[in-house]
Amino acid sequence: MDRTTPRILMCPPDYYGIEYEINPWMKRAVGADHGRAQQQWALLRRTLEDLGARIECLEPVRGLPDLVFTANAGLIYGSSVVLSRFRHSVRRREEPRFAAWFDAHGFERIELPAEMYFEGAGDALFCGETLFAGYRFRSDVRSHQWIGERLGLHVLPLELVDPRFYHLDTCFCPLTEELAIYYPGAFDDYGRAVLKAHVPRLIEVSGDEAASFSCNAVVVGRSVVLHQGAPKLTAALRANGFRTHELCLTEFIKSGGSAKCLTLRLDGEEAAAWRRLAWASAGP
Ligand code: ARG
């Protein structure tokens, strides 16, 4: 395999479902349709493969319905991974599964000190050299500080203020080292000012389009894969030279996740400056 081939970790939704309620989207009484979830996930996988990505699969586990959300496995940095420590005990049971996968695939595993919460690429996204890190609902700010010191990174913590947008990847998505989309209503004044000061170009997403999880997009090169129904955002993306691929991901939105949450970029997010150097050095 060419070291520049995008590599993405996914987990088939064999045991996916709404079995508990840990965010405002999840309603056990509503549930998710199993057949539709399988189809939607398969189409996401195929779309990413058609874009040239190599998909690696984590084995699904009965009793771990949210294991499909591999963005929460950890934060990838070169050949290292900072393993997540979930806020909610129902998801903490996923940690050994993710850890075993990273061990088996040659990543150096970094573990946070006890009592720190961190939910991986759901809450920590590179835009250029900087790691933007969301906190409050899931990850805590101390974990971000610790990661910054441990990896020698410039980290900018952003407080999330709307419980519907409880992970950073539900309201912010870097597209390149200089361009990102975001939903301003998910941040406080300070967070908005930090984003404006540190991301050269920002595309604003409206409240209604953000509520359909359109910020939760997967970026592969100049292609953006996202849930359908965000015409203003997709027009803005096309005007900026991106192709858009709109899929139906309703069954996963019922759990508070969409395209991006279902993926973990193993060779580094598209906008991460370190990717330019990483494939030149030996990695897993
Ligand atoms: N039901 C999952 C949870 O509440 C959804 C996770 C979505 N993941 C994400 N990266 N935003 O934890």
DSSP state of 265: E
Q: Is the pLDDT of residue 280 over 80?
A: no
pLDDT tens string 214-247 = 999 999 999 999 999 999 999 999 999 999 999 9
Tokens of 62: 């009965």
Distance 256 CA to ligand 1 centre (A): 6
What is the rounded average pLDDT of the residues 172-178? 98
Distance 282 CA to ligand 1 centre (A): 32
167 as an active site residue: the answer is yes
Distance 55 CA to ligand 1 centre (A): 20
Tokens of 9: 């970790």
Q: Provide, rounded to the nearest whole percent, the portion of the chain with pLDDT above 70.
A: 96
pLDDT at 4: 80
Q: Is the pLDDT of residue 284 over 80?
A: no
- Where are the domains positioned within the chain? 7-280
Greatest extent of the chain over all pairs of C-alpha atoms, in Å: 50
Position of tokens 């050949």?
A: 79
Q: Provide, rounded to the nearest whole percent, the portion of the chain with pLDDT above 90.
A: 95
Of the residues 66, 91, 269, which should be mutated to test ligand 1's pocket, given the most ligand atoms within 8 Å of the CB? 66
Which residues face 126 on adjacent strands?
131
The model's pTM: 0.96
CB 69 within 8 A of CB 32: no
261 as an active site residue: the answer is yes
What is the rounded average pLDDT of the residues 37-53? 98
CATH for 7-280? 3.75.10.10
pLDDT at 276: 82
Q: Is 242 in the pocket of ligand 1 (CB under 6 A)?
A: no
